[in-house]
Structures are given as C-alpha cells and as structure tokens.
Structure 1
Amino acid sequence: MAQKTRSTAVVVDLRRCMACRSCQLACAKAHAGFDDIVEALLSGADLVPRVHLVSAEGMTVPVQCQHCEDAPCVAVCPSGALYRDEQTGAVRAAPERCIGCKACVIVCPFGAAHYDSRSRRVIRCDLCADIIEAGEVPRCVAACPTHARRVVDIEGLTQKRRDDAARRTIHVYQAQRGGEED
C-alpha cells in the first residue's frame, strides 16, 4: 500500500493569537490524562505540552509538529519510534521505542520536538490522534479562545497562503534566534 500524504494540519492565524497559553494547558492536561486542570495540578502529574510558544519582535508563534510530508525526523530515527501513519498520513510516535538519542530534535526544521529529561524521551505533537480519529478537533484547537487555531485541509490551501504563512513564521524564528532574513 502506498503511503498516504497528510491531508489535514493545524494552522494558526498569528494575527489572532494572543499568547494566552490555553493551547499549551489543554495539550498538557490531556496528555497527562485529565479533563480538569486543577485536578491535574493537584495530582502531581507531569504536565508537558506538545505546543511551545516562541516570541520575537512583538509576535508570538505557537510551535508544534507540522507532520511534514518529507519528515526528516522519521528518516533519522534509528529505533523506528517515529513513523508515518498509513491511514492518516500524520507522523506518529511509539514512545516505548524511543531511545532518547535526540536525532529528531536536531533535524526538526520547526524546533517542534523536545527532549523530556524525566521520561528520557522526545515529546512532540501527535495531533490528538485519539480524538481526531473520532472526528473531533485537537484539544489545542478546541481550547483557543480567539479561534486562532484551526484544522485545515492542506489540499484546500492555495500555494500563496502556504508561502505567506511560512514567511511570517520564518521571520519570527529568525528574529528570535538573532538570524537575518533572506
């Protein structure tokens, strides 16, 4: 069977994002197995979000795995912990196979993979696979009070919109890292 390319993605309208961190909280509590944030905090569970905020030049960009079509993290993973889901086309992880080598962290063009020293594994967005398959939106999307985050059909995006979004995101990354724009 030929591998399916990804067909959906979470996109962020940077003009609407107010860096409230609702996406991070929703992600962290859901992946810790809680519906209520107070319950999660009182339990002492590790609250590790798969969404990170990068700020520079008055702009904030929520960073998470983009489930790249040609995912360098999958290609470089020596243990096979990262793989392409043949049904959805998303990049998935088998945490029990992760050896903590951090190769995927190094090659991720978005800086979206993070090493968790407690679990000694890499943490990255899984697009809330458990609920996406049930037809619901990822928790970060549902939690966004300004509706800056949304799930889109990639084929429906025009190339100009993709290029514009990429340019804005790259500008913030470069400014945050002290680099220059091309």
Structure 2
Amino acid sequence: MKRTLITTLALTLTTTIITAAFINSNSHQVKAESTVQFLCRSSYDEDQGTRLPTTLAWTSRGKIAVIRWVKELGGKSPQERCEKISPRFQEAYQKGTLSLITNGRINNQPVICTAKEYGGKCETLLMTLRPGDNSLQMLNSLVETLNGRGVGPIKHSSGVPQVYYQVYIDDFLQTAPVEKE
C-alpha cells in the first residue's frame, strides 16, 4: 500500500513537472512569436508611387507601417529621422509606455512622447517635430493610426494644448493591415 501510494505520488509529481515544463516552453514560444520590433525600412507609398523610409512594426502577422518619413528636420533627411526615431518606438514598447502617448515641448520644440500616467512627464521621446508642426494634430493622426481608425500610416509632413491618449498598441498590432512587398 505504501509503495503504491509513493509510486502514485511520484508519477503525479513527474506528470506535473513535465506538464509545467511543457506549458512553460509553450508560453515562451507564444511570447517569442508575439515579439514586436519597430524598425526603419523602406516601404512603398501608394499615394506618391515611390518607396519611402518608414517606421514599421514587425509582428508575427507581418510588417505594419506606422510612420512614413517625407520631410527633413534640422538638416536630417527622412531616412536619418526614420533610423533615429524607430528605435524610440521599440524602447517605449519594451518599457510598456507606448500605450499612453502625449504631445509636449522639449527644448522649446514640439514633441510626441510617452507617459506612464495621465498628467505625467514625458518618459520616452518618440519624435521631435518641426517648429511649425502642430503637435496636437500630429498626435491625433498618430493616435488614429495606432487605434486602427486611420487610413494607414501617418506621414510626418505636417499655443497647442497638451493632451494624453490611451493607445491600445497590442490591438493595433493584431488588427492593422500588413504591408505588401
């Protein structure tokens, strides 16, 4: 009787450990598959009929265009801006702050950044805008895109109040159209 009980307990414990290991390895696999990378790559813009530097979110579903870079800022080409800003989206996504974005001013320049809480300070600077850009308009366009209501990626070619928006970035990454090659 004791041997049977010990054997049963040993088998149960072994089964539990194997099951836990299987579940754990599958959850890592799902996490690995759901990894998101924000990168700067060239992608085709149908409106202009040409390829433009684009901040893309690479997901398990494919690549999703977030921002197409059209104009320069401070002597930096659209390509340079794309290469500099795309990693900022990655940083904010990894920090978990990309879900709350706001507009503001840093060094007297209009900016789009992330915040940890409503009314909070900028945590991750996403992009500096041109002096004439309306940060609220740019923020609204970005929010429309990230909340799946935009008609595609925004184009950075555009006394403003500061506004905070909740963004459901994971929903966007699951439902936004993926880029065609």
Larger radius of gyration: 2
- TM-score scaled by length of structure 2: 0.27
More strand as a share of residues: 2
TM-score normalised to structure 1 length: 0.27
Q: Higher relative CO (CA 8 A, sep ≥ 6), structure 1 or 2? A: 1
Higher helix share: 2
